[in-house]
A and B are shown apart, each in its own frame.
Chain A
Amino acid sequence: MNETDIKFLEDSFKKYYFNHFNLISTPQRTSEREFGYQKFNSGFFNRHISLRDDKELHLLFMQNIPSDVYCSNAYYAFPNSPMNEKDWKEADLIFDIDAKDLNLSCRNNHTASICNECNEISKDIVKCVKCNSTKLEKKSLPCKFCINASKIEVNKLSNVLIDDLGINKENIHVYFSGNEGFHVYVYNSQFQKMGSKERSELVDYIMFRGAIPETFGMKRFKPNRSSFPDFNQKGWNGRFSKQVFGSKSKRSKIISELLDNGYSSFQKTLDNVSDQIGVKIDPNVTMDIHRIFRLPGSINSKSGLTKTLCTDLTKFDPYTDACFLNDESIEVLANCPIEFKLKNKKFGPYNNEKISLPTYAAVYLICKKLATIA
């Protein structure tokens, strides 16, 4: 990214942080957290920072004008010490649901590729249309369908957390990540002190992975129909029934088919069902107990949108509710083959053209590397 672009982004971000510091929620037990930040055009993380309160956090924003700010889900005795000396105490349970992991068919329609060799931008995501290179950087501008599909996963996750894992609804906070999905935070649960291995098991449970036929009524030897699950059962048994049997009237017929097809075929059914009813979370995020996460209220430098708490997920529209930058006009050279919408206004597509855009839209495109200041 060139100097002018960086200067523009830094100015825009600084204005946001100056005017909207109230949107930044300093996490509970601030002094036990590890903070970190990145600056524009710097590949390195400044990590292992400890802050005492709001004021110190504010100062960090104003002095450094970071591109991204992070905070640990873990609580440490010495958050600013090197990793193995921090003395890990516990960590909130966090889930990451990202539209890019949902294999949505719409994705190709709103992904642009930037060639690493010749910088050509196009909608061809397999190879560069100019030099045929396959080294492409892909930039997606998620559509409404992507956001809705992610919301469905968040709701699936909430159901498992509440019904199966006994989490209080009040202790589940959902945030728009600032780019393509949602971060779900779980506070004060029985899982706070759990290590990485245990969290990984919890992930498999939530994703419906590793199920064996016996659990869902199919025995290897002498299977019988009475052991198959039913609709009113709690947990995965009930969800499995709804998915596989569909309706009560079909249950008996489908059980007969399952019995006829045998044990190994049932295992395949389970693996298929896993894709449909399992919650599509990023496993690496939840099992990492030393990770630092984007700080709620801070801007995501991949988009210029803010990581925002969703109090009403159904109504939440990230392109209006998480877009806080101003609409001061700025001239950019835009090369964006995809149409997008911000603050209820349509933009693009732009074919290498000089145009005037409101700051929030200019930042969005520059962050996606699809425009530069003219």
Chain B
Amino acid sequence: MLVLGQDEKAKYPFLADAGEYLKDKGFSLTQFGSDPVLKLSVEKALHRIKVAAAGEVYKSDLIDGQASKDYVLEREVFSFLLAIVLIKLTGMSTLIKRFALAEARRAENYLEKDLGNASNKSKIDLATRIIYDLFNIEIIKENDFFVIPVSDYLKHSVTFHEREWKLINRHVENGKVFLTPDKTVRLIRKELGNYISSKIINAPKPTMIPGLENIVNELITISKKLTPTYTITTGEYPPCIKHAIDVLEKGENLPHSGRFMLATFLLSRGQTVQQIAPLFKNAPDYNSRVTLYQLNHLAGTSGSATTYACPSCEKLKTQDLCFITKECDNIINPSQFGKKRK
């Protein structure tokens, strides 16, 4: 269990036990709806959520990661805890996601500073402890770098789409990846966000606090404006699929992985096994029985009943099946091709 100093609680408020903290300070939630002094913390909480909803990172009153006065520190922690209460009262999951992400990025700034603080070993130790306790990644400082096992690096970096995160673009030696403080922290951003959002989701939903109704309603209005977009599909096939169809039409051999891609893609577009099967007729090793067996398997109508999804663009690149064009427009799976956000 991590023991946090006062400043750390302000920097990483999600590590504090909310109920305990309020009780320690001698407050109850209802006081925040009525007490004019405590209302300042409520306003700060509201501000904190609004900033997050706008996709930005809340700037705290901490100076160099330190609270100038005790009340500044208290307000930092209060505003975080109250923000969670307010979000729970709205019941809007969009707000949870945005708030968790923004708070993760805020904490990320502090973690990065703490890791990069060469002169203060205790700060580095605390930051590495937080990362170990929360995400079970052991980070060791080696000169100016932080080294982590390749397998841990991959576990986290595979979800990133920027090429700089590919293992080939990292210094790798003896089973370890060498990272700068900012990259180390960036690696766990998503998990940090997940950790914070799970804290919010798992927090008990409080009953409405008298005096906070208007604020809650204001937040619901903000959240509704953030409703997810819907998509329309042009119906055109992505270049990888066109290429695969081309190969088959010419009677050339399409590797198993290419056939898998083609079949799963067409199934995802709603085509039936009977509609897809004739495509493979020209393959040099065509066997109608085997083709139907395999298509039914992919569609989940036989075998384990698992429906197989079309592989990601990243995987197709590795398999030499990607023929990217401008029209791909940064999609990460062929099934997203031609879908336009409205």
Please classify the interface of chain B as helix (H, G, I), strand (E, B), loop, or mixed, using the class held by over half of its residues.
Answer: mixed
Stretch in contact with the other chain, from B152-160, B197-205, B219-227, B232-240: B152-160
Q: Known contacts A198-B154, A198-B158: does B169 contact A211 (CB below 8 Å)?
A: yes
Stretch in contact with the other chain, from B95-103, B105-113, B171-179: B171-179
New A-B pairs, 5, CB < 8 Å, besides A83-B306, A136-B284: A135-B284, A164-B175, A198-B158, A204-B166, A237-B171
Contact surface of B with A, Cβ cutoff 8 Å? 149-151, 154-155, 157-158, 163-164, 166-176, 251, 255-257, 284-285, 287, 290, 303-304, 306, 314-315, 317-320
Tell me if A84 and B287 are in contact (CB < 8 A).
Answer: no
Tell me if A84 and B304 are in contact (CB < 8 A).
Answer: yes
Q: Roughly how many angstroms separate A163 CA and B175 CA in the complex, as a whole number?
A: 8
A197 within 8 A of B: yes
A87 within 8 A of B: no
Taking CB atoms, residues of chain B closer than 8 Å to A198 are 151, 154-155, 158
Q: Roughly how many angstroms separate A10 CA and B317 CA in the complex, as a whole number?
A: 41
A259 within 8 A of B: no
Q: Which of A85, A166, A283 contacts B176 (CB 8 A)?
A: A166
Interface centre among A83, A84, A210, A211, by most B CB within 10 Å?
A210
Tell me if B318 and A200 are in contact (CB < 8 A).
Answer: yes
Taking CB atoms, residues of chain A closer than 8 Å to B176 are 166
Chain B residue at minimum C-beta to C-beta distance from A199 = B154
Number of A residues with CB within 8 Å of any CB on chain B: 41
Tell me if B172 and A194 are in contact (CB < 8 A).
Answer: no
Tell me if A283 and B168 are in contact (CB < 8 A).
Answer: no
Chain B residue at minimum C-beta to C-beta distance from A237 = B171
Taking CB atoms, residues of chain B closer than 8 Å to A234 are 171, 173
Q: Roughly how many angstroms separate A210 CA and B163 CA in the complex, as a whole number?
A: 7
Chain A residue at minimum C-beta to C-beta distance from B255 = A284
Top-3 shortest CB links A-B: A166-B175, A198-B154, A205-B167
- 9 A-B contact pairs sorted by A residue (CB < 8 Å): A82-B303, A167-B175, A193-B151, A197-B315, A200-B314, A204-B168, A210-B166, A212-B164, A283-B318
Chain B residue at minimum C-beta to C-beta distance from A136 = B284
Q: Known contacts A82-B304, A197-B158, A287-B318: does B173 contact A214 (CB below 8 Å)?
A: no
Taking CB atoms, residues of chain B closer than 8 Å to A287 are 315, 318
A224 within 8 A of B: no
A-B contact count (CB 8 A): 106
Chain A 286-340 residues near chain B, CB threshold 8 A:
287
Q: Which of B151, B171, B284, B285 contacts A235 (CB 8 A)?
A: B171
**A153 → chain B, closest Cβ, in Å?**
17
Taking CB atoms, residues of chain B closer than 8 Å to A91 are none
| Mask of A104-139 contacts with B, CB within 8 angstroms, 1/0 | 000000000000100000000000000000111100
Tell me if A209 and B318 are in contact (CB < 8 A).
Answer: yes
Taking CB atoms, residues of chain A closer than 8 Å to B175 are 164-167, 190
Taking CB atoms, residues of chain A closer than 8 Å to B174 are 163-164, 166
Chain B residue at minimum C-beta to C-beta distance from A283 = B318
Q: Roughly how many angstroms separate A193 CA and B314 CA in the complex, as a whole number?
A: 21
Q: Which of A43, A83, A211 contacts B168 (CB 8 A)?
A: A211
Q: Which of A194, A237, A283 contacts B154 (CB 8 A)?
A: A194
Taking CB atoms, residues of chain B closer than 8 Å to A193 are 151
Chain A residue at minimum C-beta to C-beta distance from B289 = A43
Chain A residue at minimum C-beta to C-beta distance from B170 = A215
Q: Which of B154, B251, B255, B303 contacts A201 (CB 8 A)?
A: B154
**A329 → chain B, closest Cβ, in Å?**
34
A182 within 8 A of B: no
Q: Known contacts A135-B284, A194-B155, A287-B318: does B304 contact A83 (CB below 8 Å)?
A: yes
Taking CB atoms, residues of chain A closer than 8 Å to B314 are 197, 200
Tell me if A190 and B150 are in contact (CB < 8 A).
Answer: yes
Tell me if B149 and A210 are in contact (CB < 8 A).
Answer: no
Taking CB atoms, residues of chain A closer than 8 Å to B167 are 201-202, 204-205
Interface centre among B172, B176, B287, B303, by most A CB within 10 Å?
B172
**B289 → chain A, closest Cβ, in Å?**
8
Tell me if B284 and A164 are in contact (CB < 8 A).
Answer: no
**A273 → chain B, closest Cβ, in Å?**
12
A61 within 8 A of B: no
Tell me if B172 and A205 are in contact (CB < 8 A).
Answer: yes
A13 within 8 A of B: no
Q: Which of A137, A163, A205 contacts B284 (CB 8 A)?
A: A137
Taking CB atoms, residues of chain A closer than 8 Å to B154 are 194, 198, 201-202
Taking CB atoms, residues of chain B closer than 8 Å to A191 are 150-151
A266 within 8 A of B: no
A236 within 8 A of B: yes
Q: Known contacts A82-B304, A194-B154: does B319 contact A283 (CB below 8 Å)?
A: yes
Q: Which of B166, B287, B317 contacts A43 (CB 8 A)?
A: B287
Chain A residue at minimum C-beta to C-beta distance from B320 = A283
Taking CB atoms, residues of chain B closer than 8 Å to A157 are none
**B163 → chain A, closest Cβ, in Å?**
5
Tell me if A165 and B168 are in contact (CB < 8 A).
Answer: no
A255 within 8 A of B: no
Tell me if B318 and A212 are in contact (CB < 8 A).
Answer: no
A208 within 8 A of B: yes
**B187 → chain A, closest Cβ, in Å?**
13
Taking CB atoms, residues of chain B closer than 8 Å to A184 are none
Taking CB atoms, residues of chain B closer than 8 Å to A194 are 151, 154-155
Tell me if A164 and B149 are in contact (CB < 8 A).
Answer: no
A154 within 8 A of B: no
A203 within 8 A of B: yes
Taking CB atoms, residues of chain A closer than 8 Å to B170 are 215
Q: Roughly how many angstroms separate A92 CA and B43 CA in the complex, as a whole number?
A: 55
Taking CB atoms, residues of chain B closer than 8 Å to A211 are 166, 168-169
